[in-house]
C-alpha cells in the first residue's frame, strides 16, 4: 500500500488579536495561538484553510515538506 503524504503548514501569529472581533479571537484560540511569534504545525485540510482565511491578517503561513 502506498501512503499519501499530507501537507503540513507552519502557522505563525504575527499580530495581536486584541482589537479583533469575537469570531477572529475564537479562531485564534482554536488554532492554539495566543501571542505574537507563537507558532503551530497543522495538517492541511479545507477546514483549516477556512480558519486561516478568517485570520489571514494576523498570521503567516508556511508550507512544510
The verdict on residue 14 lying in a domain is no
Q: Domain range for residue 40?
A: 21-64
Give me the numbers of helices (H) and strands (E) for the chain, helices first please: 2, 3
Contact predicate 55/24, CB 8 Å? yes
Task: Check pLDDT > 80 for residue 13.
Answer: yes
The verdict on residue 36 lying in a domain is yes
Of 7 and 2, the one with more pLDDT: 7
Number of structural domains in the chain:
1
In a 3-state reduction of DSSP, which class is residue 42?
Answer: strand
The verdict on residue 41 lying in a domain is yes
The verdict on residue 55 lying in a domain is yes
The verdict on residue 3 lying in a domain is no
Per-residue pLDDT, 33: 97
The verdict on residue 11 lying in a domain is no
Per-residue pLDDT, 29: 97
Of 5 and 25, the one with more pLDDT: 25
The verdict on residue 27 lying in a domain is yes
Instruction: Express each pLDDT in 15-60 by its tens digit.
Output: 999 999 999 999 999 999 999 999 999 999 999 999 999 999 999 9
Contact predicate 48/9, CB 8 Å? yes
Amino acid at each position: 500500500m502506498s501512503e499519501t503524504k499530507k501537507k503540513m503548514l507552519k502557522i505563525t501569529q504575527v499580530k495581536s488579536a486584541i482589537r479583533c472581533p469575537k469570531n477572529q479571537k475564537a479562531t485564534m484560540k482554536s488554532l492554539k495561538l495566543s501571542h505574537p511569534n507563537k507558532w503551530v504545525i497543522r495538517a492541511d485540510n479545507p477546514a483549516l484553510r477556512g480558519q486561516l482565511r478568517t485570520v489571514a491578517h494576523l498570521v503567516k503561513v508556511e508550507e512544510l515538506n
